[in-house]
Structure 1
């Protein structure tokens, strides 16, 4: 449902409030930005109101980087938040199908009504539990899985479970990519990292300014530093997030 970034002093005006059985959903405007928050302390998502398709947070931008490595025809996004990542993918891949799974109907409605989340036949949102949806995806049915599952104050424990990694690997095509947003780096000797290495021979990482760790996994040897400058330039023209600078922060795990 979107990463949490602690901002105890979130400034601005609350312009919309909704609630459901999971809690509140707040939309807060400051001079330039619109912020999605579930508790007025943590930012779930953030956009510039003038350019809602451009992610603001660095971790959101980093989650788009595999589009420089591959041109997936079908992308599954687990967790919508304000929709900034799915919106960016939709804009970058005009010929691809994007399927978003979001637990909360009112989060989807807020993204649509307040964060310019696009309505398009190539962009489908299912309001459902992410684990149930992932379990039922056919084998090798999607070319990329982007997962960003967070509640008001923490990452969903599901993302740190071996069964979740196995299910993602099963649903991905042989040349597919998994993109995970973690609130901290998995323990080097832990079960999670061992499972990631077992399922994905190629693992890359990105540490954001907010100390989120984005992990990328694929099933083939890959050198991210061989991406031509012309590819990054073209992507920057489509979505100006600083692609060359982001690429420089990628590390092999």
Structure 2
């Protein structure tokens, strides 16, 4: 597009990293026709992708004081959580230091003593088991082509579950094709008896897994979603309307 302005175009050992400006928005891309992150430059906490908006449904079911984000990208989820949940402590795990550099330089990812960024492969980070337990664990591990298979594996789910508190929630960003992934279903069921999913128009499938049942009624959830929407900057009720039991 003629309106595109390339702010950065580089490579690391995992491939291309590109930052593109399109008017009031910025995109992080890992390859041709690949869009990893998108923000409105003046409001980086307002999530632009439907799947990231769906992941924030977790805030209806837990009030996180500590969160772990696997797959930082442009820092969109970190920005949203920092804006909406005051005082939250977060750790972001990102494989590629160059990606973190771009998130800080071009995507206004917040810097705070309450936010730690670790550069490590997410599976290895979880397997080490050294992080404090969290109320909320987001797994959004994607490469230039598709979801990282590591987050579909039983060892990954086992290690993630070990870090999620009893009242906490694990949230996975997958593809619609993973709705019938027997290995993933079995791994989640071993730890989380209450799983829900939210499909998106782009073919993503967001899975919310918890150990406790969702006790609020639909009307109560809608009221909470409307209240939360004003902080998020978009209508969370759109995603809530697609939430359904999964497993």
Normalising TM by the smaller chain, what interval?
over 0.9
Secondary structure in 2 aligned to 1:144? strand
| 2:203 is equivalent to residue 211 of structure 1 | yes
Secondary structure in 1 aligned to 2:26? strand
Output the aligned Cα RMSD: 1.9
**1:148 positional shift:** 0.3
Compared with structure 1, are the counterparts of its residues 232 and 238 closer, same or farther at alpha carbon in structure 2 (3 Å cutoff)? Answer: same
Secondary structure in 2 aligned to 1:63? helix
Q: Quote the residue 1:146 is aligned against.
A: 138
Secondary structure in 2 aligned to 1:39? coil
Compared with structure 1, are the counterparts of its residues 206 and 112 closer, same or farther at alpha carbon in structure 2 (3 Å cutoff)? Answer: same
Compared with structure 1, are the counterparts of its residues 219 and 140 closer, same or farther at alpha carbon in structure 2 (3 Å cutoff)? Answer: farther
Maintained 8 Å contact 1:78/1:101: yes
Q: Which runs of 5+ in 2 are unaligned?
A: none
Maintained 8 Å contact 1:68/1:227: no
Secondary structure in 2 aligned to 1:52? coil
TM-score, with normalisation over the residues of structure 2? 0.93
Q: Quick check: 183-192 or 55-64, which moved more?
A: 183-192
Maintained 8 Å contact 1:139/1:171: yes
Match of 2:50 among 51, 58, 73: 58
Maintained 8 Å contact 1:10/1:40: no
Q: Quick check: 102-111 or 83-92, which moved more?
A: 83-92
The 5 A counterparts of 1:74-85 are 74-85=66-77
The separation in 2 between residues aligned to 1:104 and 1:139, in whole angstroms, is 20
Match of 1:90 among 72, 82, 87: 82
Q: Which runs of 5+ in 1 are unaligned?
A: 1-8
The separation in 2 between residues aligned to 1:45 and 1:98, in whole angstroms, is 19
The separation in 1 between residues aligned to 2:2 and 2:152, in whole angstroms, is 29
Deviations 1:192-248 (A, max 9, x none): 212212221000000011010000000011146253554323312211121122211
| 2:190 is equivalent to residue 198 of structure 1 | yes
The 5 A counterparts of 1:19-38 are 19-38=11-30
**1:184 positional shift:** 2.8
Match of 2:237 among 219, 244, 252: 244
Q: Quick check: 29-38 or 171-180, which moved more?
A: 29-38
The separation in 2 between residues aligned to 1:208 and 1:239, in whole angstroms, is 18
TM-score, with normalisation over the residues of structure 1? 0.90
Q: Quote the residue 2:150 is aligned against.
A: 158
The separation in 2 between residues aligned to 1:81 and 1:153, in whole angstroms, is 14
Maintained 8 Å contact 1:69/1:227: no
Secondary structure in 2 aligned to 1:91? helix
**1:114 positional shift:** 0.3
The separation in 2 between residues aligned to 1:39 and 1:232, in whole angstroms, is 35
Match of 1:49 among 35, 41, 45: 41
